[in-house]
Amino acid sequence: MQKEFEARSQSVFLQLNEQGLNVSLYWKNSDPRRFVNVVPTSAVTGEGVPDLLQLMIKLTQTMMAERLALLSIPQATVLEVKTVEGLGTTVDVVLINGTLKEGDRIVVCGLSGPIVTRIKSLKTPQVLKEMRVKGALVDHKEVSAAIGVKVVAPGMESAVAGTQMYVVGPEDDEEELKDAVMADMADIFGKIDKTGHGVCVQASTLGSLEALLAFLSSPEVGIPVSGINLGPVHKKDVLRANVMAEKGFKKYAVLLCFDVPVTKDARELAAEYGVTIFTSDIIYHLHDAFKEWIKRCKLEEQEAARLTAVFPCRLKPIASCIFNNKSPIVMGVDIIEGVAKVGTPLCVPSRGGFSLGRIASMELDHKPVDVAKAGQSVAMKIEAGNQQEASRVYGRHFDAADELVSRISRESIDALKEHFRDVMSKDDWRLVVKLKAMFQIN
């Protein structure tokens, strides 16, 4: 293990040296002004994180002592938004400078706009206990920096973790503070799709939400986002995602949840409404899961559209391969242009455009196939769908001199454009244009 660590560290150090950085392991670094400290850490076990924090504190206190000063102006950052039984929605903040008091008027960033409220109470954990450890909290009339404190105030339900919290002073302009507090969200709202079509995104903090939105909006990924939220997934988030299904965009009735829990009620409602929830603490896993979901949706849409969508084709009967000349007509054909598929309705344009029926089955080299392309010759069975089509006879109503073409319509062309654009070639679209003119389709 020690040899592997040394080998890997030397490889990383070499890459840093190539970038012009002189580095050293922090416990071997004799001159931190000449060499950049490297602290090995593990994202899996958390090993090394305490060392990193200790080193940052040590360097700050020893090398930046003159620049460390406690300011009287309150400066606080929202770390987490929690619902606490008996208190309602609270925010855990880190007070970096100044003092917070009960009754202070504060401005906090909210998902739907700035939140202006008053501090109802200030609470901290008992001495030498973390906020995450359950236990009775200590009430304070006021607290001074630097400290972590739980702020209880009304209207905090949509507060955004990771943003600044401002205290409105006697000389402060409240409107300016509102603009300042929402500046952090400007880029976030800019990444929401203006058409209102897209998935809903949920993340634990503002930073993770920014990272996820930046990834989803990148040209390589290109997943549209219609709604965002922070914190655990509740029923209201499922209802927001269900709007896409109500608008007919089932593939976007999705919640991409990054590093957040999903409540039991939300899962039950999602199952009832057909809203899909993907959860992960790795952004790329969310992307892969959504890509697979889109593929499944596309296959379902294509399957549902097959009866409406008619692929273009031109066929020529082979005079020497007429196996049955009346319904069901069985004969050999050459595929001249386009794609012949089972289910395609055929007609004879040179004889007034009368219908023959639909392709029931095809064989290529004595093997059944569902698709035949230009240049291939297949045995084809054509079944009539009504009495008029059943009366058509090869040799009497048409023969080998006549071409057979797929009967397209405006509805079938629209279905091809919407569901099968990626499987249609340029030659196929050119044939669609020819058939449009033949059948006088606008």
For 98-137, the pLDDT digits (tens) are 899 999 999 998 877 889 999 999 988 877 655 555 667 8
Q: Based on the fold, state whether residues 199 and 126 are members of the same structural domain.
A: no
Contact 255, 278 (CB under 8 A): yes
Task: Quote the pLDDT of residue 194.
Answer: 66
Q: Do residues 432 and 318 share a domain?
A: yes
Cα 421 from Cα 425, distance rounded (Å): 8
Among 152, 167, 185, give the residue marking a domain's end. Answer: 185
pLDDT digits 0-9 by tens, 22-39: 999 999 988 888 999 999
In terms of domains, do 291 and 324 share one?
A: no
Statement to judge: residues 169 and 205 lie in one domain: no
- pLDDT tier at 367 (50, 70, 90 boundaries)? very high
Return phi, psi of residue 208, to 5°: -70, -35
Query: Structurally, how many domains does the chain consist of?
Result: 4
**For position 362, what pLDDT does the model report?**
95
Question: Over pLDDT 90: what percentage of the chain?
Answer: 31
CATH number at residue 162: 2.40.30.10
Position 379 scores a pLDDT of 95
Q: Of 136, 158, 185, which one is at a domain's C-terminal end?
A: 185
Same domain, 30 and 81: no
| CATH number for position 271 | 3.40.50.10050
What pLDDT was estimated at residue 135? Answer: 64
Residue 414 belongs to what domain range? 313-438
Query: How confident is the model over 59-76, as a mean pLDDT?
Result: 82
| Start-end of H helices in 150-234 | 174-190, 206-216
pLDDT for the residue numbered 337: 93
- Does residue 180 sit in the same domain as residue 97? yes
Higher-pLDDT residue of 329 and 71 is 329
Percent of the chain whose pLDDT exceeds 70: 96
Q: Which residues contact 183 (CB under 8 A, 6 or more apart)?
A: none
Q: Are the beta carbons of 340 and 334 closer than 8 angstroms?
A: no
Residues 195 and 159 in one domain: no
Do 295 and 335 sit in the same domain of this protein? Answer: no
Q: What is the mean pLDDT of the chain?
A: 86
Query: Are 258 and 357 within one domain?
Result: no
345 and 406 share one domain? yes
pTM of the model: 0.55
Residues 197 and 106 in one domain: no
Q: Of the residues 129, 161, 185, which one is the last residue of a structural domain?
A: 185
